[in-house]
Amino acid sequence: MAPKHHPTPLSGGLRSALNKELVMARAMTTILATQSAEARAKGEALIRQADKLLCESWNERMWADGGPIDPSPTIDQAINGGYSWLEIECSRCKTRRDVDLAALRHPPTTYAHDLAGRLRCSKFAKANRRPAATLLQLAPRRSHADPES
């Protein structure tokens, strides 16, 4: 956007009035920019809170109903809400493991329930059998150690 050009008036009274208006306009831009930043911060905090509540709601429905519940939070919603770990269990050997959602090579718009068919147990990799994992819940922190370590 091109800057506005304010032609300087010829008389002294009009020049001082124009300068006064320009000073007020510049001060107003600072005030409006500050209010915008505050509103954006409040909005981001509300979105984080909404994402956290969505993850907690999904965890409760998973606990109550079992199985991957549709709809579920997306990977980026879970991470934004503070739930960056997904607890899974091998459907065959019942080994529990935690998956870091930030480290997954899936688009951030992938739903958590869509990961059920994509995550596999690593114990059976050598036997060329990789049973699917069962989703348990989203977690804010890691709760299980890796079985490989």
- Written as tens digits, the pLDDT of the chain (149 aa) is 566 766 666 666 777 788 888 889 889 999 999 999 999 999 999 999 999 999 999 999 988 887 667 889 999 999 999 999 999 888 888 888 888 998 888 888 889 888 887 887 777 766 667 777 888 889 888 776 555 43
d(CA 79, CA 139): 10
Contact between 81 and 55 (Cβ < 8 Å)? yes
- For the record, the structure tokens of 132 come out as 């699917």
Is 0.75 topped by the overall pTM? no
DSSP 6-56: -PPPSSHHHHHHHHHHHHHHHHHHHHHHHHHHHHHHHHHHHHHHHHHHHHH
Neighbours of 89 (CB within 10 A): 16
